Structure 1
Amino acid sequence: MATPIKEWSKLEVRAVVLFLFSKGTKPSEIHKQIAETYVEGAMSRSRVYQWCTWFGEGQTSLCDEPKSGRPKTSTNEENTTRVDELIRCDRRMKIREIALKLEIPKSTVHEIVHDTLGYRKVSARWVPKMLTEDHKLQRVEISQRLLQRCEQDNGDEDTTHTDVGTGGDFQANNNLFDNLITGDETWVHLNTPETKRDSMTWKHPSSPVNQKFLRFFAFHKKDLVCCIARPREGHLSLSGPPSGQGSF
């Protein structure tokens, strides 16, 4: 028995089917001869019958016909441009929404957004206050004055100084920080504000970091501002707005 042919091509096997079919050989016999001549897997029984049907209908080409329908990939220049335009118009748009709007697969949108366009979705960075340049300058000046006072008060227990923040006087001691009061304020919301995940936007790695101030929320008319103050030693002071008012 001859050794089966190990190296073959699809066109070669199809040519054998066409040759045998043109001689009047039955499809079952064609498959038997191919199985004996070539290694297993050269052409299945169903494919032999399929090609015999096509040859019987008059087809002579051994090549596959072009397939109709959607191409294998939708990642092309046109879709890339459309996705980029949508993101630039609304940086909070989700991949699912982009896919529905453009009628392309979510996997394609994901590839375009992350691999082709280089976007990544991040949240805005929370900051307690949006300080102006004047606010920043005032903080620097006050900090410098506090440092100077610490140097002047070192070892001097009998000197009276003007308070940096209020203009009042106090008796200095060995530790200036015993006379300082720290404080802050916070909003008490009566509604559910937007979550950090809801505020995520698309950006490139080189884009500046977004910042989000608490006033970005849509405040309820009854929301409150609470002020908290505490000395180094003593009780915590908590105060709110007068009755009937939403804020100071």
Structure 2
Amino acid sequence: MESSKTEHRAVIMFVTKDAAQYSTFAKWSAEIKRGCSSLDDDPRLGRPVEAITDDMVARLQGLIMSDPRIKVDEISSECGISHGSDCTLIHEHLHMTKVYAKWGP
């Protein structure tokens, strides 16, 4: 199937606007030449994310509402999850930040 100039320009515009680093582009290009046609990422090694669940969000919200001055380290030890997971849950899922040493929306 022959591509039109417009399709080529669209691809060039997309690649230019959302360009990855050259090394990433070269790696992907090599994988395509080897026959890889999947657009999905390969599975990664390591632990899956287990801390970010609806139950954990509700538990954190309960802790914060019962003591608005609670510290992230105290939440971490109480819930048994990492400091980074706590921050993700608080900021991205509960949409809270510290306001004058208290958690608030």
TM bracket (short chain): 0.5 to 0.7
Match of 1:201 in 2: 102
Match of 1:246 in 2: none
Which structure has more helix as a fraction of its residues? 2
1:6 and 2:34 matched? yes
Which structure has more strand as a fraction of its residues? 1
Preserved CA contact (<8 Å) 1:73 1:108 = no
1:112 and 2:105 matched? no
Closer, same or farther: CA 114–89 of 1 in aligned 2, 3 Å: same
Secondary structure (helix, strand or coil) at the match of 2:89 reads helix
Q: How many residues align?
A: 67
Match of 2:28 in 1: none
Match of 1:72 in 2: 49
**TM-score normalised by the chain length of structure 1:** 0.25
**TM-score normalised by the chain length of structure 2:** 0.55
Closer, same or farther: CA 84–7 of 1 in aligned 2, 3 Å: same
Structure 2 unmatched ranges of 5 or more: 1-32, 38-42
Q: Percent identity?
A: 27
Distance (Å, rounded) in 2 between the aligned partners of 1:85 and 1:79? 10
Extract structure 1 runs of 4+ deviating beyond 3 A: none
Give the RMSD, CA atoms, in angstroms.
Answer: 2.4
1:122 and 2:99 matched? yes
Secondary structure (helix, strand or coil) at the match of 1:80 reads helix
- 1:144-155 equivalent positions in 2, closer than 5 A: none
- 1:1-248 equivalent positions in 2, closer than 5 A: 6-8=34-36, 71-123=48-100, 200-204=101-105
Closer, same or farther: CA 89–96 of 1 in aligned 2, 3 Å: same
Distance (Å, rounded) in 2 between the aligned partners of 1:6 and 1:70? 29
Closer, same or farther: CA 70–6 of 1 in aligned 2, 3 Å: closer
Closer, same or farther: CA 121–8 of 1 in aligned 2, 3 Å: closer
Distance (Å, rounded) in 2 between the aligned partners of 1:73 and 1:107? 13
Structure 1 unmatched ranges of 5 or more: 10-63, 124-199, 205-248
